[in-house]
Amino acid sequence: MKVIKIAVADDQQLFRQCLVSNINQLPTIQVSIEAENGHQLLLAINAAAELPDVVLLDLDMPGMNGVETTAKIQAGFPALKVIILSVHCEARHIIYMIEKGINGYLSKSSTLEEVNKAITAVYNNGFYFAEEVMRTMQQGLQTKGKKFYIDIPGSLTRREKEVLGLICKEYTTPEIATALFLSERTVEGHRNNLLLKTGARNTAGLVIFALRHQLMDPTL
């Protein structure tokens, strides 16, 4: 059984310690790095013999906040997946961070069950957003007609739209390949084309594109 290794960075000591203690009770997830700020987190990641798979990162930290830390992680460790922890759940905060390259967004009021689900989904599928977060993003994206990506859905082929739809349903590459009778290599090719055409930085960005252009229903 694969154990997902994660790093946790949060300046609120009691919250961080409780979160780490609870996560370490999960059978398939283990906290390998614990930090009280972004600077300490980056030092620990640099010194680690083995990189974590996922980072749980507080958005509001003194010194180096979640936005700055995410940028540093993207520059130095592009393969690392980042889930933001925040008390702010407004669409503008969520969308802004997704455009910066994060893979998931969790409220600090989330249950341990949802934290487990989010970490597992981000590790396996590249993104996780709770249903209420998806609805919030959809509402925010459809206000004032603001565009976050230049390309329009008309530039996507039928097959690319099918792949995008399954990505948004949290299908893995092997699952998409099976559902569409394609090879995994072909699916990855379609995924790469979607990233290029939409301007998205990762799978989470593809979900934003789909929401923005009403190519998915977040309630399904």
Domain boundaries, the chain: 4-128, 141-212
The token duo for 2 is: 């694969």
The number of CA neighbours under 13 Å toward the Cβ of 90 is 5
Q: What confidence score (pLDDT) does residue 153 get?
A: 65
At a CB cut-off of 8 Å and minimum separation 6, what does 61 contact? 9, 10, 11, 37, 38, 69
The pLDDT, as a whole number, for residue 49 is: 92
Q: What is the pLDDT of residues 152-170, one digit of tens each?
A: 566 789 899 999 999 988 8
Residue 16 contacts residue 34 (beta carbons within 8 Å): yes
**4-128: CATH architecture:** 3-Layer(aba) Sandwich (3.40)
3-state secondary structure of 5: strand
On whether the CB atoms of residues 66 and 84 are closer than 8 A, the answer is: yes
pLDDT in the model for residue 148: 46
Going by C-alpha positions, the residue among 72, 132, 74 that lies closest to residue 103 is 74
Alpha carbons 100 and 117: distance in angstroms, whole number: 22
| Model pLDDT, residue 216 | 73
Report the candidate in 19, 18, 192, 29 with the shortest Cα–Cα distance to residue 123.
Answer: 29
Structurally, what CATH architecture does the domain formed by 141-212 represent?
Orthogonal Bundle (1.10)
Phi/psi class of residue 95: alpha, beta or left (left: φ > 0; alpha: ψ in -120 to 50)? alpha
In this chain, the answer to whether the domains covering 4-128 and 141-212 adopt an identical fold is no
The series of mean pLDDT values per 10 residues for the chain, 220 residues long, is 92 94 95 95 94 94 88 92 87 81 90 94 89 75 52 76 90 92 92 87 86 69
